[in-house]
Amino acid sequence: MSKRALITGITGQDGSYLAEHLLDQGYQVWGLCRGQANPRKDRIAKLIPELSFVDGDLMDQGSLVSAVDLVQPDEVYNLGAISFVPMSWQQPELVTEVNGTGVLRMLEAVRMVSGLTKSSGGGPPRGQIRFYQASSSEMYGKVAESPQRETTSFHPRSPYGVAKAFGHYITQNYRESYGMYGVSGILFNHESPRRGAEFVTRKISLAVSQIKLGLMDKLHLGNLDAERDWGFAGDYVRAMHLMLQQEQPGDYVVGTGAMHRVRDAARIAFEHIGLDWQEHVVVDPGLVRPAEVETLCADSGNARRELGWEPEVDFEQLMRMMVESDLRQASRERDYRQLLATGSW
């Protein structure tokens, strides 16, 4: 019989790639969706027609118990979160509720439906449901060492990072307290043409496509010197799945090991359309964060050795892929507008 997976955050970037990957592996996949008439649900339902949906919200314990009970999943992937870091200074309590306490609620739902009570200690993992938590390199914050690995201590620099650290530790605690098969993937930044427009790589690729078509001229960015280890989301969802297929549960760092600055992302994207980024990028101090994570770089040695995971797309390929995708979309929209304006169907 095929395995069943429940994904929270199904309408997000990673949810869509993970769902496609699991469907390819022969899974039945349910996405947890919140809200009344969520427009992002319609979009993902069109993109992946094989998906099933179940209602639920990480703010609502009862809805999560009902969802897990209804789906009876073999694997739960908890990807749901408010994932834009600056939002966590604007609404710290909400972000803590969703990204921190929301993890606890999801773990409780899994524990209750699995009938798990306290662990007698040691032994193989118990319960039928395996749980994946979307932890983040943002937990490393002001980094204690470079590159960062599973044993590097956390020093989060945003309410987002603090909430993610809670989610990380509570997942570890349910593993130790109840013997649950619960793991966290400490994923470094990963991007794609499906990335939200608020994140810097997509902000750049969207702007570049608009500039190419003469629809805008200047792109406003914040800290150009921030360094990130950027990879392709399609590669990273393979690591999530692999983590739940191991005999023993464990946490893994996932990243490429290559670091680039924000200014490199801009340079590559503008070069791809034959323009000089310095003529179009404007630094806006208002976009600089109250406490910045200056540098992040992954040591994914454990994931490579133990999971057999390797990324396939490098940073240059990633930026070019995103620019190409946004250019295609922007050109289609421009052509459509021209057709409407001229009436020449």
Cis peptide before 147 (omega within 30 of 0): yes
Alpha helices in 115-216 (DSSP H): 159-178, 200-212
**Does 136 contact ligand G4F by CB under 6 A?**
yes
Tell me the per-residue interface mask from 1 to 40 with ligand G4F, x by CB under 6 A, - otherwise: ----------------------------------------
Element (H, E) at 132: strand 126-136
Q: Could you tell me the smallest distance in angstroms from the CB atom of residue 84 to ligand G4F? A: 6
The catalytic position among 16, 136, 184, 192 is 136
To the query of whether residue 138 is one of the catalytic residues in this protein, the response is yes
The listed partner (ligand G4F, ligand NAP, none) that binds 213, CB under 5 to 8 Å by sort, is none
For residue 307, which of 223, 231, 249, 225 has the smallest C-alpha distance?
249
Q: How far is the CB of 121 from ligand G4F (least distance, A)?
A: 33
List residues binding ligand NAP (CB under 6 A).
8-15, 34-35, 38, 40, 57-59, 79-83, 98, 134, 136, 187, 189-190, 196
Alpha-carbon 263 to chain mean position: 22
223 binds, among ligand G4F, ligand NAP, none (CB under 5 to 8 A by kind): ligand G4F
- CA dihedral over 16, 46, 27, 82, signed as positive or negative: positive
**Beta strand pairing status for 227-228 and 260-261?**
antiparallel
Q: How far is CA 94 from CA 57, 90, 219, 325, in A?
A: 13, 9, 30, 33
Residue 319 interacts with ligand G4F (CB under 6 A): yes or no: no
Q: By CB under 6 A, name the one of 105, 111, 175, 228 that touches ligand G4F.
A: 228
Active site residue 83: no
| Nearest distance, CB of residue 244 and ligand G4F, angstroms | 20
First to last CA, the chain: 50
Q: Which does 9 bind (CB under 5 to 8 A by kind): ligand G4F, ligand NAP, none?
A: ligand NAP
Catalytic residues: 136, 138, 160
